[in-house]
Amino acid sequence: MDFSPSERSLDLAQRVRAFIDAEIEPAERVMAADVAARRAAGEDPWPAHPLIAELQAKAREQGLWNLFLPAGHEGPYAVQFGTDGGSGLSNAEYAPIAEQMGRSFSAPLVFNCNAPDTGNMEVLLKYGSDEQKADWLEPLLDGRIRSAFLMTEPGVASSDATNMEATAVIDGDEVVLNGRKWWSTGVGNPDCKVAIFMGVTDPEASRHSRHSMVLVPFDHPGVKVERMLSAFGQHDEPIGHGEVSLTDVRLPVTNIIAGPGRAFEIAQGRLGPGRVHHCMRLVGLAERALEMACERATTRTAFGKPLANLGGNRERLAHARIAINQARLLVHHAAWKLDTVGSLGAMSEVSEIKVAVPQMACDVIDMAIQLHGGAGMSEDFPLSAAYANARSLRLADGPDEVHLGVIAKLLLHPYAEKASRA
């Protein structure tokens, strides 16, 4: 056992952290104020602030770009973007870097490492045709455009993917998309130029071969952002989450990724690393909340003492210290399992982090809010937005309950087998 990060992982994590502290955090305050002013004035809050592009350029210059890109890919894009920052880090190596990015809401975007673009790029790299790669992967890796992933639906319990009602019907050389999706992250941003849409192609096929993934140019007729949603009162500009309708969207069948009926197969490979990223970012967010709590506890005074010396505050801080450390190790371990035995072998581990980490982050952030008093729930501190972020991850990418079911199924499998033989 060796818990040290690799040299390059450590180096990149430190440089990412330094960049966030020096460049992103100050810019974030400016951007937040500007977005608030735009909203208050009834102006469009969605276009990304010009500071984002400036920060992206600086980050790219320093080689802090597309760090999420995993090793193991071949072909022109892997190579080309490898020299441009595509680093081929293992999941375990990327994890500490993602933790640092989680400290800030803008950092993932600045480093071209934000969801759902990362997952979409991975899908294209692994399953995309040459043409699909040229059209969409290249500009995504270059940061010129952004993308969305259209999966969850408002009308059904999307925790059960077989409930999906949207369709991707093949009609000769075309595929015709219909349906309504929501919680489509990124569709608020005017730079969002493409989406990966998931829909039913063949309802008669076996359970996991019914659905296709289709690349949808976002300005195509029939695609409409019906509205932007808030989650726990947060709009998360300039990324945002929207409700999107697709009405008779006709596209060439070549827009289907990897061929009809392969959506589940593609989704499976996408989800493991994506969940590791999400969870590591939440570890970073929780760590930052704990830092803020410690800062507050030692500088704010009540009843003649710093808050740290009142009641159970120290115990709460200590419990948060333990909880974050446990969660970080669990994610590191899951990342290492993904690296060593693959998605299928790490299925329980990935579901375990998806259950454990968002709840941990909610708890730690909630504690930090409480220590900050009224300020903690206001927009003066990033804590209530952090809470909203962590809380939404108990639902996004599969609710806790679905992941608990997966864990239990895998855990009980040998016992159930044995019992059925008895």
Taking CB under 8 A as the criterion, the residue among 19, 77, 111, 387 binding its own copies is 387
Residue 76 CB, nearest approach to its own copies (Å): 31
Taking CB under 8 A as the criterion, the residue among 80, 247, 268, 301 binding its own copies is 301
Tokens linked to 399: 């609710």
Residue 6 CB, nearest approach to its own copies (Å): 8
| Pick 56 or 313: Cβ nearer its own copies | 313
Contact 277, 118 (CB under 8 A): yes
Quick note: the x/- pattern for its own copies over 132-171, rule CB under 8 A, is --------------------x-x-xxxxx--x--------
The reply on whether position 378 binds its own copies by CB under 8 A is yes
Which positions from 76 through 95 interact with its own copies, judged by CB under 8 A?
A: 92
The reply on whether position 283 binds its own copies by CB under 8 A is no
| Pick 125 or 323: Cβ nearer its own copies | 323
β pairing state of 241-252 and 174-185: antiparallel
| Pick 51 or 383: Cβ nearer its own copies | 383
> For residues 203-215, b (16+ Cβ closer than 10 Å) or e, as one string?
eeeeeebbbbbbb
The reply on whether position 422 binds its own copies by CB under 8 A is yes
Residue 9 CB, nearest approach to its own copies (Å): 8
Q: Minimal CA–CA distance to 37: which of 239, 237, 243, 240? A: 237
What single-letter amino acid sits at 196?
Answer: I
| Pick 171 or 207: Cβ nearer its own copies | 207
| Pick 79 or 318: Cβ nearer its own copies | 318
As beta bridge partners, residue 174 has 171, 252
Tokens 């400036």 correspond to 54
d(CA 102, CA 246): 32
The reply on whether position 62 binds its own copies by CB under 8 A is no
Taking CB under 8 A as the criterion, the residue among 5, 47, 88, 222 binding its own copies is 5
The reply on whether position 21 binds its own copies by CB under 8 A is no
| Pick 203 or 311: Cβ nearer its own copies | 311
Helix (H) or strand (E) holding 246: strand 241-252
d(CA 58, CA 64): 9
Tokens linked to 75: 């072909």
Contact 55, 23 (CB under 8 A): yes
d(CA 388, CA 234): 7
* Contacts (Cβ under 8 Å, ≥6 apart) of 54: none
| Pick 173 or 291: Cβ nearer its own copies | 291
Which positions from 232 through 261 interact with its own copies, judged by CB under 8 A?
A: 232-234
The reply on whether position 229 binds its own copies by CB under 8 A is yes
Tokens linked to 271: 């989800």
Size of site (CB under 8 A) for its own copies: 100
Which positions from 22 through 51 interact with its own copies, judged by CB under 8 A?
A: 39-43
Q: Is the dihedral of CA 238, 239, 243, 247 positive or negative?
A: positive
The reply on whether position 263 binds its own copies by CB under 8 A is no
The reply on whether position 307 binds its own copies by CB under 8 A is yes
Say if residue 190 is preceded by a cis peptide, omega within 30 of 0: no
d(CA 94, CA 12): 9
The reply on whether position 231 binds its own copies by CB under 8 A is yes
The reply on whether position 376 binds its own copies by CB under 8 A is yes
Quick note: the x/- pattern for its own copies over 171-210, rule CB under 8 A, is -----------xx---------------------------
Which positions from 337 through 366 interact with its own copies, judged by CB under 8 A?
A: 337, 348-349, 352, 355-356
DSSP 267-325: HHHHHHHHHHHHHHHHHHHHHHHHHHHHHHHHH-EETTEEGGGSTTHHHHHHHHHHHHH
| Pick 20 or 290: Cβ nearer its own copies | 290
